[in-house]
Amino acid sequence: MRYIFDFSDQLMVSIFKLGGHEGSKPELATWLAREGEPGFVLCEDEKLARFLNGLIIRNRGSKDDEPPEPEQFLSNNMVLRKLKIALNLHADDLIAILGLNEFTISKHELSALFRRPDHKNYRECLDQLLRNVLDGMEKHYRKAR
């Protein structure tokens, strides 16, 4: 998200704060380091949930005075849902974003990703699909500048 929208360190820290995490630039640097580099630390699901919640609050506003409780475990489906909400994306928008990578998906297949996990038509969002969404978002939003 940082690269897609060209967020500064300070803006990233402020988005985390909106989500309820008092982070710092040095902590952020450990999460943004490449895997295998000295100082690399994997961002925990709970912290990523706080960031995505903060992004929703930044872009769409807050429903309450307090940020929502973050999930302790994030599936790709949850990440996709939070991005969809934060960026106010509709099915056609996501299909177009995926199309930038020549990845096709129908509205029915897409809607299955947003169903409850116990629903009979629920489908898991695989890593490949989420990567294509993020890559398509990069092409879409960086081109727009």
The ranges assigned to domains in the chain are 2-60, 76-143
Contact residues for 42 (Cβ-Cβ < 8 A; gap 6+): 31
What's the alpha-carbon Rg for the chain, to the nearest Å? 16
Instruction: Tell me the pLDDT tens digit for each residue of 46-75.
Output: 999 999 999 999 999 988 878 889 999 999
pTM > 0.85:
yes
Instruction: Tell me the pLDDT tens digit for each residue of 101-134.
Output: 999 999 999 999 999 999 999 999 999 999 999 9
- Contact status, residue 50 vs residue 20, Cβ threshold 8 Å: yes
CA distance 57 to 63: 8
